[in-house]
Amino acid sequence: MKIVIDARELRATGTGTYLIHLLEELQHLDTEHTYLVLLKPKDIDSWKPTNRNFIKIPCRYKEFTFAEQLGLWKQLYKLKPDLVHFAMVQQPVLYQGKVVTTMHDLTTTRFRNPAKNWLVFTIKQQIYKLVNYWVAHKSQALITPSEFVKEDIARFASINSRKITVTYEAGDMITEQPEPFPELIDQQFIMYVGRPQPHKNLDRLVEAFGLLRQQNPALRLVMAGKKDVLYRRLEKGANAKGIKNILFTGFVSQGQLRWLYEHTAAYVFPSLSEGFGLPGLEAMMHGAPVVSSNATCLPEVYKDAAEYFDPQNTEDMANTIQKVLNGSDLRKRLTKRRHIVANSYSWQRMVRQTLDIYSEVLGEK
């Protein structure tokens, strides 16, 4: 059988991690089928298959464009695959071959980006909702990273949840040597790493940190992530409120991220909406106590290895962080549980489940 995998987002945050592990494990586990891997031209040279059944195919059609709808549609029909796995919802909606789609979450259908033009973003968001609805119906099978997302999509698209399979993702250990931040050595700090999109709820994290400093004047907050318009707005807002001791690092290397995970007093994940929540899981794997929002899938994924708060209540957020900072017994419990929970997830298991889905759709089972 000939299977196409749409890997155009191989270097993207989130979806890229999923794709990297999907392709890596598939090459180990499946020597029977032929895989055609669609890559952006700029990624062709950087991804090197290790299994001769995996063939790189350049795809110049960008996601969320009219070119994708027509050009990729034509390209797929020329390739004549037995199955296409779209690793994200964006795809030619008129393609009628056998399709498996991974739908990571519905966050983009519910939150707007204040850095974008309001009218343009609103129109695109409505189109995106329609695409999600249509893809959920036309795909032969759907994959989600959590039970929460599975039920969320079933309700949103009014489809039977039995069409959807949950394949949990997994965290990764950073292999690079720890690279310290000189200004944080021997300092107590809490941290967040990731994008500053509105659903990440970082405004409330900054406000909660302002409350925490009343009891912990030396405590620092580290916000790690590439500085963009939204991070600059967040930094400006914190300065306007007089909230000090926040370090906006900009982009961090893997070595720097490992050092932060290994030395933070708590990793705080205040998100309002997630599909899986990889950063918190990775923080656990490196020994960080995790203090998390209780929204969407996060309690499902982190189980009893995190301490939870209401993400819309800054006082609850601050009090929960303070409880972890003060409670030695609580920190010991989290330390014990985080290894058990983090190690319960497996990329290989995820890919084995995905192969079973391929076989079912192809009629091999």
Question: In this structure, are 86 and 22 located in the same domain?
Answer: yes
Total residues found in the chain within this entry: 365
Q: Confirm whether 277 is domain-assigned.
A: yes
Q: Confirm whether 196 is domain-assigned.
A: yes
Spatial contact of 302 and 311, defined as CB atoms under 8 Å apart: no
Question: In this structure, are 334 and 353 located in the same domain?
Answer: no
Question: In this structure, are 198 and 74 located in the same domain?
Answer: no
Question: In this structure, are 59 and 94 located in the same domain?
Answer: yes
Question: In this structure, are 196 and 288 located in the same domain?
Answer: yes
User: How many domains are contained in the chain?
Assistant: 2
Q: Whose CA is closest to 300, among 279, 331, 266, 274?
A: 274
Question: In this structure, are 138 and 235 located in the same domain?
Answer: no
pLDDT of residue 293: 98
Question: In this structure, are 236 and 111 located in the same domain?
Answer: no
Question: In this structure, are 59 and 199 located in the same domain?
Answer: no
Q: Confirm whether 176 is domain-assigned.
A: no
Q: Confirm whether 290 is domain-assigned.
A: yes
pLDDT of residue 114: 83
pLDDT of residue 329: 87
pLDDT of residue 60: 96
Please write the tens of the pLDDT for every residue from 221-236: 999 999 999 999 999 9
Question: In this structure, are 202 and 251 located in the same domain?
Answer: yes
Q: Confirm whether 177 is domain-assigned.
A: no
Q: Positive or negative, the Cα torsion across 210, 211, 212, 214?
A: positive
CA separation for the pair 42, 11 (Å, rounded): 10
Question: In this structure, are 155 and 28 located in the same domain?
Answer: yes
Question: In this structure, are 231 and 324 located in the same domain?
Answer: yes
Over its length of 365 residues, how does the chain's per-residue pLDDT go in tens digits?
999 999 999 998 889 999 999 999 999 999 999 999 999 999 999 999 999 999 999 999 999 888 999 999 999 999 999 999 999 999 999 999 999 999 999 999 999 888 788 888 899 889 999 999 999 999 999 999 999 999 999 999 999 999 999 999 999 999 999 999 999 999 999 999 999 999 999 999 999 999 999 999 999 999 999 999 999 999 999 999 999 999 999 999 999 999 999 999 999 999 999 999 999 999 999 999 999 999 999 999 999 999 999 999 999 999 999 999 998 889 888 988 988 999 999 999 999 999 999 999 999 87
DSSP class of 62:
P
- CATH number for the domain spanning 294: value is 3.40.50.2000
CA separation for the pair 302, 341 (Å, rounded): 7
Tokens of 133: 């609805």
The model's pTM is: 0.94
Question: In this structure, are 325 and 196 located in the same domain?
Answer: yes
Q: Confirm whether 175 is domain-assigned.
A: no
Q: 155-193 burial string, b = 16+ CB within 10 Å, else e?
A: ebbebebebbbbbbbbbbebeeebeebeebeeeebbbbb
Q: Whose CA is closest to 3, among 98, 93, 139?
A: 98
Q: Confirm whether 322 is domain-assigned.
A: yes
CA separation for the pair 361, 351 (Å, rounded): 15
Q: Confirm whether 51 is domain-assigned.
A: yes
Domain span holding position 291: 182-342
Please write the tens of the pLDDT for every residue from 198-207: 999 999 999 9
User: Which residue type sits at 346?
Assistant: S
